[in-house]
Structures are given as C-alpha cells and as structure tokens.
Structure 1
Amino acid sequence: MSATVAPPAISTFERRRAELLAQRRRATLLYGTILLACLLVSAWVAELSPARLADGIPRFGEYFAQTIPQLRWNHLFDGVKQEGSIAYWFYRLDEWSLLLLETANIAAFATLSGTVIAFFLAFLAARNVAPRPWLAGAVRRLLEACRTVPEIVYALIFVWAFGVGPLAGILAIALHTIGACGKLFAEVIENTELGAADGVKCAGGSWVQQMRFGILPQIAPNLLSYAILRFEINVRGASVIGFVGAGGIGQELYAVIAQNYYEEISAIVVLIIVAVSLIDLSSERLRRRLTEGGRA
C-alpha cells in the first residue's frame, strides 16, 4: 500500500519544490533588477562615471605622493633640525600630541555626557517598559532627530553659536551620541526578560524600582559595551569635526591642508591613525572583558 502512495507524494513534493525555486528565482531577479536600477540612478545623480574616476585617480596619486616625507636612511634618527630625519618630519610633535589629547578629551566627555542622557531616555523609549505607549513613540522620534543630522552639521551650528573651540565639538558629538546610544540601549531593554521586573512590581515596587532592580542588572554589561564602542566612533568623529573649527587635531589638519604643507599633512594623519588604533585596541579589549563578564 505504501508503495502505491509514495510515487504521487514524491511527485507532488518535487512539483511544489520546483514551484518554490521558480518563485525564489523570479523574486531574486526582480529585486536584483530594482537594486541595479537604484545603483545606476544613484551613480547618475552623483555624476559618477568611469571617465571621471580615470581622470581623478592619477591626481589623487600625485597629491598622495607629495605628502610622503623625504626621509634619508643616513639621517633617519638624527635631530629635529636635520632634514630627512623622522624628528624633522614630526618637528611639532609636542603641539600635535596636545591636540590629540584634546581630541580624545572631546570624545570622552561627549561620550560620557551623551550616554548618560541616552541611558535615561532609553527606558522611556523601550516599548516593553515605557510608562505610556505614546511616550515611547515620542522619545524615539526625539532620538531619531538627534542621530539623523550628521555631527559635522551640529558642529557648524554650535561653532556659530558658541565660537571656535572644543565646546562646539563636545556638544555636537554628545547630541549625536544621545540619538545613537539611545536607540541601541532601548533595543537592549526590549530584548530583556521582564520576569525580574514583574517580581519587583508584585512586591510593590515602583516603576523606577522595577527598572533599577529588575532590568538594569541584566543589561548593564551590554550598555557598557555599547558605550565603549561609541567612544571609539567618537574619537574618529572628533578628528573630523575639527575641520569646521570645533577643536582638536582636526582643526590643525585642516589648517595644514589649506596651506599645502604636505609633509605636515602626512605626519598628522600618521599620528591620528596611531592614536585611534591604540584607543580602538584598548577599548575592544575592555569591551570584550565586560561582555564575557556579563555572560559569566
């Protein structure tokens, strides 16, 4: 009996499988065509063409070649007054180091203040724990507004309002950090089990106590991990917003680019790369320890 039933069942399965594969191929072709059309339209709007790329790449190479220092092996480790030495290349290392420290301080203070504000807003933005549904929607729109505008645009506004200097950079990065971290923190809260918070509620605890004793212990390692990751991003952002006068090493980099001091450009870029890499490595190690500690 099973032998007579098996062939029709197998044929039905194979037919259904072929139909599903055909639907998948048609969907892939359709979405691939739409994606290709969007890319072509984007390239046309951006005036991107192979001819322009071919013309621009050699000029980029020429500019990059001008920034390479003229180091000489026989004078490589000589003093700051000897041309061709590393010390001559980094002849303003003390000033640039202070500007790098200022950049790191801008990022650190902005990250700290931004994440603290984002921490409190996240509990209001998380749909599963917000006191009112409409409040969660309103706070989410606020967070979207904070992170939608690029940091450099905020920096331009704050430079106009408060003048040139680190304060504009701190405010710009902090405002963007509120939006970015607030969204991440809210998503962490929404993925948290509410059993402990419900227990605190049943024991007569207020909403604040539910968040403090029922939710926060579960999410603290993830929040710290995201905050440290944001600090890494903000260090790079603090280097860029200096271009509009918001302080830090970026302001000095813009000045030497404007004056075509080619070797100083490469020296500052190398220092930024080294500093950001060291901060990233240290932050990544700390973030990994926090994550592993939270899982343990």
Structure 2
Amino acid sequence: MSPPRTGALRAAARADLARLRARYPAQFRADRAARARLVVGLGVLVGLTALACWRLDMSVARILHGLGRLGTFAVLMLPPSPEGHLWTFLHALGETLGIAFLGTLTAAMLAFPVAFLAARNVVPNPFARFAVRRGLDILRSVDVLIWALIWINVVGLGPFAGLLAIACSDVGALGKLFSEAIETCDRRAGEGVVASGGSALHRIRFGLIPGVLPVLASQVLYFFESNTRSATIIGIVGAGGIGQYLTELIRVLELQQVAFLVLMILVTVAAIDWVSTRLRRAIIGPAAR
C-alpha cells in the first residue's frame, strides 16, 4: 500500500474517532475514581510485598550466597548411588506406594456416599447440606502433615499412621469435588428414571451415578498420583515410607544416596502419571483424547 493511501486512511480513522467522541462522550471520559483505586491497590500490594520481604529477611545477597551453596550440594550429589542399600530403598518405595494407594482408596470409599449428602440436587435440605459441607471443610483444612503428626501419637510410628493421615486429608477434598461433580451432572437422565416410575434411590443409582462415575474415577487417579508425593513428605515425620530414609540421609549429608532416592521418586511419579493418564482416557472416553 502506498504512503499517501496510508495517510488518507489514518486521517479518516482519526476523524471517525473524533465523531465517536462527540457522540458518546461518557464512553470516552476517563474514570478518575477507577484509576485512583487501581493506583491505591497497586501501592498496597507493593507495600505488602516490601513488608513481607523485610519481615522474612529476604535479600539478593542471601539468594546469591544460597545459590552458591546449592551448587556445592549439587556437585556432592553426583553420581547418585544407593551404596549397597538398593533393596532397602525399593522396599521403602513400595511402602510409600502402598500408603498412597490405600490412603486414596479409603478416602474415596468414605467420600463417595458423603458427597451425595453434600450435593444440592440430592439433598434439598440446606441445613443438612451445610452440616456435611462444613464437616468436609474441617477435614480438608488440616494439612496431611498435621494429620500424620496426630495419627503418629494415636497409633504409633509407621505406615499405618501415614495411611490414616492421607485418608483423613483426602476425604474432605474428594468429598467436595465429588459433590460438585454430582451437582453439575445432567439431570435429564435422572428425570427420565423418575418419569418411568423410579424412586429417588433409583434416580441416584441409574441417573446420577453412571453420569458422574468417570469424572470421579479420574479425580481419584489424580489424587493417587499426588498422594505418592505426599506419602514421601509424611515419611519425614515418621509415618513410614521412603521419606524416613530421605530425611536421615540429608541430616548426615549422604548426598549421593539422597540423589538416588530423589531419582527413584521422580521415576515413580512419572510412571504413575503415565499410567493414570492412560486410565483416565480409557475411563472418560474418546473425548478426553
């Protein structure tokens, strides 16, 4: 396009903009109050960030110094080696997987019936729903590490405490997700069951459950993958699994063994992610591919 033609189009656009400004002045008027709120909000955010950095003693010098030490630790971790403890580490890794699997399964089995009591399209009574939802909130608000510390004092050290910790933490989260999936389920199937003479229980069994079951199964698979990492963390406080060895080896600076354990965990999580992705696709169907 030639420069004169471009100049003519630019002039026409400016003239049209001037006509629009004259016709709709309110739309082009600057909202000074909104700008002031934006500036104040950004100022508060910057102030809170600066306060947090000051209170937490954050500084560029400490970060750079820490990066240097991190590089030293990374060199000491090479090459990763089990140093004769391979079978011990494999046994601990299997224990971690067992904690994650049984904890997730227990939580799913407990959350499944409770989720129907928290769903609006199943229990119309708002007071009953409120009580169930607040109970799920209480379970969900306590971190799995806190649950592990609680159960260690109740049932003692070991993987059983870790299993119970994951189950308690996940009941609240899975119950909330399950209830939301049930509420968003297509109601036409349940209405069809009732229209054909079915009871309220039949509506749930044949109208709701088949529609939400693939979504629930997908969520359980994801939680199993996530709980594999959580089972590693709670092992640090004595709840069984590979986390016990990880924290002990870090304390005595056996960094080559630490690197080997980290690699084992990474490979295991990647394998579980690959398998669970395939299972989710098989459960949900071709639409998930």
Q: Same fold (TM over 0.5)?
A: yes
Residue equivalent to 1:126: 119
- The 1-side partners of 2:182 and 2:97 are apart by 29
Matched, 1:60 2:70: yes
Matched, 1:258 2:251: yes
Aligned with 2:168 (options 156, 160, 175) = 175
Identify the range of structure 1 (98-107 vs 12-21) with the bigger mean alpha-carbon deviation.
12-21
Query: Quick one: structure 1 residues 28 and 186, their matched pair in 2 at CA, closer, same or farther if it must change by over 3 Å?
Result: farther
Relative contact order, higher structure (CA 8 A, sep 6+): 2
Residue equivalent to 1:143: 136
Aligned-residue offset at 1:153: 0.9
Paired residues, what number?
274
Tell me which amino acid in the other structure corresponds to 1:56.
G
Q: Is the 8 A contact 1:90 1:267 kept in 2?
A: no
Aligned with 1:40 (options 50, 62, 66) = 50
Residue equivalent to 1:242: 235
Residue equivalent to 1:213: 206
Q: What are the ranges of 5 or more consecutive residues in structure 1 without an aligned counterpart?
A: 1-5, 70-85
Query: Quick one: structure 1 residues 41 and 10, their matched pair in 2 at CA, closer, same or farther if it must change by over 3 Å?
Result: same
- The 1-side partners of 2:124 and 2:220 are apart by 25
Query: Quick one: structure 1 residues 233 and 9, their matched pair in 2 at CA, closer, same or farther if it must change by over 3 Å?
Result: same
Aligned with 1:17 (options 17, 27, 35) = 27
Q: Deviations over 1:186-238 (max 9, x none)?
A: 11112122222233344454433221111111111111111101111000100
Q: Deviations over 1:148-171 (max 9, x none)?
A: 111111101111111111100000
Tell me which amino acid in the other structure corresponds to 1:144.
D
Query: Quick one: structure 1 residues 259 and 198, their matched pair in 2 at CA, closer, same or farther if it must change by over 3 Å?
Result: same
Specify the SS of the correspondent of 1:48: coil
Q: Is the 8 A contact 1:110 1:173 kept in 2?
A: yes
Q: What are the ranges of 5 or more consecutive residues in structure 2 without an aligned counterpart?
A: 1-15
Tell me which amino acid in the other structure corresponds to 2:48.
C
Tell me which amino acid in the other structure corresponds to 2:167.
A
Query: Quick one: structure 1 residues 32 and 221, their matched pair in 2 at CA, closer, same or farther if it must change by over 3 Å?
Result: farther
Matched, 1:157 2:167: no
Aligned-residue offset at 1:61: 2.3
Specify the SS of the correspondent of 2:239: coil
Query: Quick one: structure 1 residues 110 and 293, their matched pair in 2 at CA, closer, same or farther if it must change by over 3 Å?
Result: farther
Residue equivalent to 2:3: none
Residue identity (%): 36
Q: Deviations over 1:33-87 (max 9, x none)?
A: 3433333333334333323323322222222322222xxxxxxxxxxxxxxxx7x
Aligned-residue offset at 1:128: 2.8
- The 2-side partners of 1:20 and 1:212 are apart by 57
